[in-house]
Amino acid sequence: MPATAVGLRKDFWLLPLEKLQDAEWEALCDGCGRCCLHKLQDEEDDQVYYTDVACKLLDLTSCRCSRYKRRLEYVPDCMSIRSEGEAVFPLLPPTCAYRLRHAGKSLPVWHPLLTGDDQAMHLAGISVRGQVVCETRLARDEDLEERIIHWIN
């Protein structure tokens, strides 16, 4: 989404998250799809491990949710970043604009709001496009621990 989109304040991404209007909040997402991957969290040290298994609602080409507005009806444990509060930020990928802005950091140089190119995260190799499988394609007994990836952390 271009940074000049109608209804968005100039340089809104520099504001603290709690100051963002709804449309600005949504525009902050770069569309990488990383947050839609199944994650495992170590019970001893809370380390988060990403897998190459995507939510059934993730469009593997666009890396956007196919049912975004109603996603919680289809996937009740889907993250709702804005409403979940502080605890959700460590579960987000290190490149996530929400996580970065929560920590007071700048957006990455490839972010679509800075480049004006909604394909920037794909071109930068940040998105999950071509690197993951849909959860519906897995065998029922497949172990997620065997699908841990290390290219996100």
Q: Which two tokens stand for residue 26?
A: 């949504």
Strands of the sheet with 133-134, listed across from one edge: 37-41, 48-54, 133-134
Please report the pLDDT score of residue 51 as a whole number.
97
Say if residue 1's pLDDT is above 60.
no
pTM of the model: 0.90
DSSP 86: G
Please report the pLDDT score of residue 5 as a whole number.
60
- Report pLDDT digits (tens) over 60-77: 999 999 999 999 999 999
How deeply is 84 buried, as exposed, middle or buried, from its count of CB atoms within 10 A (0-12, 13-18, 19+)?
Answer: exposed
Decide: 128 and 33 in contact? Cβ < 8 Å. yes
Amino acid at 85: G
- Report pLDDT digits (tens) over 94-153: 999 999 999 999 999 999 999 999 999 999 999 999 999 999 999 988 899 999 999 997
* Residue spans per domain, the chain: 12-147
